[in-house]
Structures are given as structure tokens and as C-alpha cells.
Structure 1
Amino acid sequence: MPASGPVTRSTLRQQIADALRDEVLAGRLQPGQEFTVKQIAEQYGVSATPVREALVDLSAQGLLDSDQHKGFRVHQFTVDDYRGMVEARSLIVDGVFRRLEERATPGDPGGARLTCVHGAALVSVRRRAEAAARAARAGDLDILIGYDLRFWRELGGFVANHYIADFLHRLRVQAWVFAVPYLRGDRRLRDWLWSGHEELVDAVTLGEPAKVLAVLDAYNAHALRWACHLERLQQD
């Protein structure tokens, strides 16, 4: 089992959960790989209790499967699972922005749209967008994943309540967990990494949900094309 670097989150339980999630996202823990509470506790030099709690948390997030007799293993998502994730986030985000669009009044272009996105918060999410887009264009998967997740988390906080934002974040983590093992071995990696983060921020800045939806439609279509490409490879 690979060892992670130092972690600095608030609780030991959360530290371990975050470190293991990062191992999965980095592809160092592969889908189907098995391990026990004892192995993880020895790896991090901690007691079994916070490890067990962290593994249960990751299981609840859909990243691990638990077996009463064998311990835990990294969940193995399928292409159909991935398509389901894309469809779910598409339906939810589409509904959020269409609701904002419906609330806008004809005489007030800003209206009930995205006027909450401004100032320091917008500067922060734009920086995330720029970093994520650069990493995608460069094919730097390790850098991209972190910035991409933070970008969507911050952006989601502008337009949706925290229940929706948390659910969408969970879907995006699961999607990356599925995608990482395939993307790392793909010579066309850069072709499949979406880099429209800055375009999306521009649309949000304008405060026009219709333009945001157009970017998101392209984003989801891009993801589904990759799923079809992957399925064809698996059938060959």
C-alpha cells in the first residue's frame, strides 16, 4: 500500500478519509483493490477506530465496498454508472439554472439570476477555473483533479443550497474515481479532458443562465462522447 504525505485536516478520521480518497483519485489505489482496517492503521501509524470510521465514511460516499470478512475494497464503477452520474448532475444543474432563469423578470436583466456571484468569491472561482483549464490543456491529470473539484464545489455554492452542492460534489468525485484508471493509460488524454472552466465562469459573470446552460450542455456532451469512446475500446 502506498503511503501518503502529511495531512492537516481537523480530525484524524477526516485526515485518513481524505488521504485515502486522494490515493484513489491518484490511481494509486486501483478499483477492486482490497485492504483491511489493520493494514491502513499500520500504514498511518494510528489506532483502528478512526481508520474504521474513515473507511465507513468512504463506503457511504460510494467509493469503497465493505465485506464483513475480507475488509474493504475500492469500488469498481462501470461505464453505465458513469453515464448515470453525468445524467444525474445534468438534470440537477439544468433544473437549478432553469429555475433561476424563470425567476428573472423581463425588465431586470440581473433580477434573480446570478447576482450573488461577485467580488472576492468570483475572483476565487475564476482562479480555480484558470488553473483547471491550464492543467486540462496540458494533460496534467494530477493537477486538474484537485482544481476541477474545488472549482465545481465553489461554483455550486453560488447557485444551489448545500444539499445539492454536496450531492453534486459526491457525483464528481465518483466520476473522477471511475475515469482516472482509463485516462492515465490513454494516449489521447488531452483530447478527453474538458477545459471549458473559464468559459463557464464568463457565462456566470454575465448573469445569464441560458448561456451557462449552453456551456454545461457542451460539458456533458463531451463526457458522454468519452463514455462512448471507452465503451468501444472495451468491446474491441
Structure 2
Amino acid sequence: MAPSAIRPMEPQQSLRALVGEALSSEIISGELAPGTLLTVPTLAAQFDVSATPVREAMLDLEGRGFVEPVRNKGFRVTEVSDETLRDLVEVRQLLEPPAMEELARRFPHDELPAFETLAAAIVEGARSGDLRVYLEADVRFHLGLTRLLGNRLLVDTIADLRSRTRLVGLSAMLETKHLSESAAEHHVLLQHLADGDAAAAGELMRRHISHTLGWWSGRPEGEPASVPE
């Protein structure tokens, strides 16, 4: 997707953060493809903000490895090697499924409605093709669940790993049924947590993360398990 397709945004408290979130969503999903050149003046005009928050956001993205500076031109969206992506997925698999297994053993049922709302937003983002809505709700959903365990370091670690994960095949999934299928897994996970089924919650989370190396990176996968009614 060309930078000109990025939507303008309303002024908010932290323009730097909002610009960064918008651009990171486009990069993570593959809408801003590796090799795309981004310039501060063009982005500032597109977002209808001054150059300062855009420049600061680009430096943040550089720190995350999402872009690299191009002398006298701007910033170029970087590529993530398959090896790096596999390493990120491996560490996430070591942390997130066990976390969901533990959460299933002590899930606070009064929190269920809020997470059902987030899961519904993820499904709607997939249905409407709004990847920014999809990704933002997805982050809030997964980090919110992890936060219920009360381990701040775990939340921060998973947040960092997720922030560096690319899903470059995500935009291509809009033309398939797979985005809706992966979105529906969030409702399934909540059902396992509410039922106290630790084994099922852990297995679902393992399968969900594995999409990073499959559908979400533009590679085929086997047929997914059927989604319970």
C-alpha cells in the first residue's frame, strides 16, 4: 500500500504514539511492504500533523527494526528474515500458551464481557477488511488476558515480542477465508478460559501463534480445526 493510502487521524494526546501505531500496523500487516520509502514531509501531510511527531515516530520504528534511514531521502521499511521470525515465534510459543493454561485455572469470569467485546472487534475488523482495527483489538485482547495473571514482566516481554513480529501475509488474507478463521479463534480461546480447560486453551494458543509462520506470512497451512458453535 502506498503511503498516500494511510488515513488521516484526529488530533490526540500523543501524536507521536498515534503516528507510530498507525505506521506499525501498516508495516506489520504488509500493507506497507518491505522496501517502501517513507518521507517525513509526506507522512506529516498525510496525517495532518507537524513533522516533529512523525520524525519521533520514525525513530521509534527504527529502534524496533521496522525501518532504516536512507541518507537524504527518509526511511525504508525493512525486511524480517525467516530466521528472525522463527526465533520470535519460538520464544512466544514458550511463553504465551503456558500463560493461557495458567489463566484458564483462575480466569476471572467478571472480565469475560470486556474480552468478548474485543474478540467481536477482531472478528469485525476481519469481516470489514480493516486491518488496523483488527491488529489494535488483537493486541489489546492478548495483552489484556496476559495482564490478568499479574506479572508485569511477562506482559512487557510478550508485548515486545509481538511488537517485532511481522504478519506480511495479513493483507493478502483479505481475499481468503483465513483471516475470519483466525479471528474466530479469539472467541474459542475465551470459551476455553471460561470453561477452565487449560489444555485446550494452551493448544489453541499454540495453533494461533503458529499462523505467524503460515497464513500470516503468506504461506499455506493445513486445514484448521473446526470452530465450536
Q: TM (normalized to structure 2)?
A: 0.73
The question of 1:39 aligning with 2:42 is answered yes
Which residues in structure 2 correspond to 1:65-214 (within 5 Å)? Answer: 65-97=68-100, 100=102, 113-115=105-107, 117-119=108-110, 121-133=111-123, 136=126, 138=127, 140=129, 142=131, 143-159=133-149, 161-184=151-174, 187=175, 189-191=176-178, 193-194=181-182, 195-214=184-203
Q: Which runs of 5+ in 2 are unaligned?
A: 222-229
38, 53, 56: which one aligns with 1:53: 56
**Change beyond 3 A, Cα 1:168–1:9:** farther
**Change beyond 3 A, Cα 1:176–1:133:** farther
Q: Which runs of 5+ in 1 are unaligned?
A: 102-109
- Aligned-residue Cα RMSD (Å) equals 3.4
CA contact (8 A) 1:65 1:73 kept: yes
> Between Structure 1 and Structure 2, how many residues are aligned?
215
15, 18, 31: which one aligns with 1:15: 18
Deviation at 1:123, TM superposition (A): 1.0
The question of 1:4 aligning with 2:7 is answered yes
CA contact (8 A) 2:37 2:74 kept: yes
Deviations 1:78-105, CA, capped at 9 Å, x for gaps: 343333332221111144356x48xxxx
CA contact (8 A) 1:23 1:29 kept: yes
Equivalent residue letter for 1:57: D
Q: Which has the larger radius of gyration?
A: 1
Equivalent residue letter for 2:185: G
Q: 220-229 or 10-19, which moves further after superposition?
A: 220-229
Q: Give the distance between the partners of 1:228 and 1:14, measured in 2 at CA.
A: 26
Q: TM (normalized to structure 1)?
A: 0.71
Greater length-normalized contact order (CA 8 Å, ≥ 6 residues apart): 2
Equivalent residue letter for 2:206: D
Deviations 1:169-209, CA, capped at 9 Å, x for gaps: 3433444543335435xx5x213641311111112123343
